[in-house]
Structure 1
């Protein structure tokens, strides 16, 4: 269990550190190319959910809504992780998802919006900007799907 707490701390720490670097070294909407024509670091504040969904809601309601929903999601995922701790890959997946949710929750509480900065594109076609927390959530969901589809059930005491 200790290694999973370290995993959460490492992911949240990396997420917050990278966001700190962006916020304190760039202006909002400033961008600099890392791989020309493909990847830039671009400072964006995302007021909504994934891909900016619900960004048009009243700011006070939106912020409260996302904070409450995120806390509920973290509690539910924590319960699932505890109940399914014998499934190592699934448990790892849940820890990644919780890590990402915590990273973005910290932003919502202290910034009011989520700091995004990883900007992938080809020409004028952009993938919505994201951050380390979003990566952890996406990788966690990927491994969760792999576990559910491909990993055989663990039999308990039969």
Structure 2
């Protein structure tokens, strides 16, 4: 792919699977996946969080074990194999779409943001395939307020979405007026 293919005028050929920042996206997504899976593997298998938890790290932060059979915030809980495989399939479809988007992006911030979302989606997708549910373990709470239990993959996804939102507000259609 040439630079003209990637950033050419409207109607110019766009890369489908490999673009300017694809190497960066691949490396960041894989690092995110490995860190996410490594912490989950250690907490579930090595530390045996099921037996040894919960663990209070700070007065507002605990390590607990929650098997999330839904999506973010525990929405759309799936207790059947069909639901599990539908969510796994959705993860694959969304990840492919995000990868194609990343291969066409011309901004390092967008590439990094998409890499984080892809890494997080893959991390939670691996859990769903191997465990039938996503391993969540970080519980933030203050007084009676309790945030949902999450994992590193969720952190990557949220950070990626924040980056995409930031980019959309700073580089949107009205940014030329600045």
Q: Common fold, TM-score beyond 0.5?
A: yes
Q: Which moved more, 1:93-102 or 1:75-84?
A: 75-84
CA distance in 2, matches of 1:28, 1:50: 25
Check the 8 A contact 2:98/2:114 in 1, yes or no: yes
Output one character per residue of 1:77-101: Cα deviation in whole Å (capped at 9) or x when no partner. Answer: 11111122x1111111111100000
Identify the residue that residue 57 of structure 2 maps to in structure 1. Answer: 34
Structure (1 or 2) with the larger CA radius of gyration:
2
The number of equivalent residue pairs is: 150
Q: After TM superposition, where is structure 1 displaced by more than 6 Å over at least 4 residues in a row?
A: none
Output one character per residue of 1:39-94: Cα deviation in whole Å (capped at 9) or x when no partner. Answer: 01111111111111111x4421210111111011001111111122x111111111
Identify the residue that residue 145 of structure 1 maps to in structure 2. Answer: 165
SS in 2 for 1:54: coil
Shift of 1:3: 3.5
CA distance in 2, matches of 1:79, 1:100: 16
Check the 8 A contact 2:67/2:136 in 1, yes or no: yes
Question: What do you get for the CA RMSD once the two structures are aligned?
Answer: 1.6
CA distance in 2, matches of 1:149, 1:82: 21
Q: TM-score, normalised by structure 2?
A: 0.79
CA distance in 2, matches of 1:73, 1:3: 19
Output one character per residue of 1:7-51: Cα deviation in whole Å (capped at 9) or x when no partner. Answer: 122111100010011102211693111011x10111111111111
Output one character per residue of 1:105-125: Cα deviation in whole Å (capped at 9) or x when no partner. Answer: 000000110000010001232
Identify the residue that residue 121 of structure 1 maps to in structure 2. Answer: 141
CA distance in 1, matches of 2:23, 2:68: 33
